[in-house]
Structure 1
Amino acid sequence: MSTRPAQAPGAFDHRMAAPGTDDAFLAVALPFLAEGLAAPDEPPPVVIAAPAKLDLLRDALGADAQGVGLVPHTDWYTGSAANAVARAAGHLAAHAGPGGRIHLLMEPVWNGRAGRSPRESAEWIRYEALANLLFAPSATTALCVYDTRTAGSALVAAARRAHPGTGVYEDPVRLAAELDAVPLPPPPSDALRLTEPARDAVRAWAAGRGLADADAELFATAVTEAASLGPVAGALLWGEGTGCVCELTLARRVEDPLAGFVPPPTAGLEPGQGLWFARQVCAYVDVRDAEDGGTDVRLQYG
């Protein structure tokens, strides 16, 4: 079933569908694509979905399939939820019509990274919630597909809270805060304590932990970029499996729930972009209020 909220003209139209069969998928996808094909001032609609669903659409659309962009979702969703923000923003900037007009049918890889753990699923629900704020100025129409055969009932129920018009929609900031209220595991007792997360020191420590030189450089740069939110009151470093973790304690409160999610003016990934850079290169970036009125920023690389 697809849900379509009432939207003001030009507003981000964020829909959700939760089909459980191939026929149910086609029942929501085909009208959505027809709507996009008929929309004025729009480029052809794009479907980012599982290859099997793309085959279904090719068969159902016939010759009309040439007018629809069909992208395997494993080619689009290649990293974290923060990477998905960057990919969507870049696509809109390069290919959307005036004001961001385009119809996008989007299915993350729910049987892959997006659904491999409760924490990973929470990252994607946060992304879905914050998308309502990040893309609010655009005239994009997005239909997010949650196939119940792969996404599962718990993920579908959580996603409904991130999509307008579902009857259980939550304010994005409130939903993100609820997800952030889940405590993180405490740092290990043997974590290395630094008063200042100097880039060279972090890089050398990460390389000593076994990270390749390029990865150690990226991790150190991410820590430095996150530290630019400072002032930094201290830092901890420890290993997590084959990866590295740094927790920064900032002596101020980071109030913006979109910190590090808003794409910078420059298209490429480069130092000087602060928490955006950190979110793009790290597997997880957690920003939590500290008890002393400051902020803890935990970065996990690898």
Structure 2
Amino acid sequence: MRSGAARGHEGYFHEAAFYSSDEEFLALVAPFVLDGVAAGEPTLIACGTTNEKLLREALGDADGGITYVPADDQYSRPTSAIKRYREVFEDLAAGGARQIRVIGDVPHPGVGVPWDSWARYEAVVNEAFAEFPLWGLCPYDTRTTPAPVLADVTRTHPRVLTAAGDHRVNVRFEAPSAFLTGRPPPPPDALESNPPALVLLDPEPVDVRRAVRAATSRTTLTEDQSDDLVFAASEAVTNSLSHGRPPVRFRLWADRDHVVLTVTDQGPGPHDPTVGLLPTTKTATAGLGLWLTYQTCSYVTLARDDEGFTVRVVAGPPRVF
């Protein structure tokens, strides 16, 4: 039987918490961990350096069932985070875990990371983890988290843990599909404020691959990064030519350590707003290529606006406005 506020709940008990001091963080999170230890429930902690240190000092010897996961590794990319978590949850559930507890510091612009794909992550995990007896607590520091991010967090978590310790149903929660389809287009990368270095109309994938390879050869990107971007560009153009509507416009920007490319067509884009974030083996749609792109490139966005449907892919460090 599951313990605590999630007792009797089926599937993912997804909860947000907001704090404005180290003391508030510990008051919210430490009891969550200690209760899990007392109940014999495996608990994963994927927090940044500061919060992990606070928890290690506060929890002391209470380490039974606690696994500390480096947050930079776990939250390198949204799809990778989903894939890794699912693998761990599957193993723990198969081993008989009645409930699994997770605490994670999800990246956002307050720590220098673009938010759009992580907002999509916070929405999608409500479905991606629904099969597991999971209780996830997502703490957000109001000292560093921008207001638009806090608003999205409220819309993507079915429950909120209050400073008083109450576990409340969140009346502002939106179903993942509604949240994802209602999002405004993400901001462009800062490099896009310059004219593109290359524009191709209705290009053949082979020409796009050649152009991207040439552009990355003049940067500090590694060979693997270059290969990943070439694949991503080819997949995006192929998908637009196969599933979108002409004309298809390919644009590329590059500087010393950073390449941005966009592919825009006049179609509506994928019908499934979760495409790319969830594992798939389907090869007849754009899903598999996008899923692989999300796992290998630094930053990926999908958006519909007055220009059409645009896939944006970044290799190297994305520039946050």
Return the TM-score normalized by structure 1.
Answer: 0.78
Partners of 1:193 and 1:100 in 2: how far apart? 54
Is the 2:119–2:153 Cα contact (8 Å) retained in structure 1? yes
Counterpart in the other structure of 1:102: 100
Of 43, 46, 62, which residue of structure 1 is paired with 2:44?
Answer: 46
Quote how far apart the aligned CAs of 1:135 are: 1.9
Q: For this pair of structures, how many residues does the alignment match?
A: 286
What's the secondary structure of 1:285's corresponding residue?
Answer: strand
Partners of 1:190 and 1:200 in 2: how far apart? 15
1:16 and 2:22 correspond: no
Counterpart in the other structure of 1:257: 273
Partners of 1:157 and 1:62 in 2: how far apart? 34
Sort the Cα spacing of 1:260 and 1:275 in 2 relative to 1 into closer, same or farther, 3 A: same
Quote how far apart the aligned CAs of 1:45 are: 0.7
| Residue-by-residue CA offset, 1:24-64 (whole Å, 9 max, x unaligned) | 22222232123423557x4x211111333333333333322
1:238 and 2:252 correspond: yes
Which residue identity is paired with 2:270? V
| Residue-by-residue CA offset, 1:73-96 (whole Å, 9 max, x unaligned) | 23432x233333333233323445
Identity of aligned residues (%): 28
Partners of 1:219 and 1:124 in 2: how far apart? 20
Can you give the 5+ residue segments of structure 2 that lack an aligned partner in the other structure?
160-169, 282-286, 317-321
Sort the Cα spacing of 1:26 and 1:183 in 2 relative to 1 into closer, same or farther, 3 A: closer
Can you give the 5+ residue segments of structure 1 that lack an aligned partner in the other structure?
266-271
Matches within 5 A, 1:1-302: 9-39=9-39, 42=41, 44-77=42-75, 79-97=76-94, 101-110=99-108, 115-116=111-112, 120-165=114-159, 166-182=170-186, 184=188, 188=195, 191-194=198-201, 195-198=203-206, 200-210=209-219, 211-232=221-242, 233=246, 234-241=248-255, 242-249=257-264, 252=267, 253-264=269-280, 273-289=288-304, 295-302=309-316
Sort the Cα spacing of 1:187 and 1:7 in 2 relative to 1 into closer, same or farther, 3 A: farther
Sort the Cα spacing of 1:6 and 1:139 in 2 relative to 1 into closer, same or farther, 3 A: closer
What's the secondary structure of 1:63's corresponding residue?
Answer: coil
Partners of 1:62 and 1:156 in 2: how far apart? 31
Q: RMSD value over aligned CA atoms?
A: 3.4
Is the 2:215–2:254 Cα contact (8 Å) retained in structure 1? no
Which residue identity is paired with 2:172? V
Return the TM-score normalized by structure 2.
Answer: 0.74
Is the 2:78–2:121 Cα contact (8 Å) retained in structure 1? yes
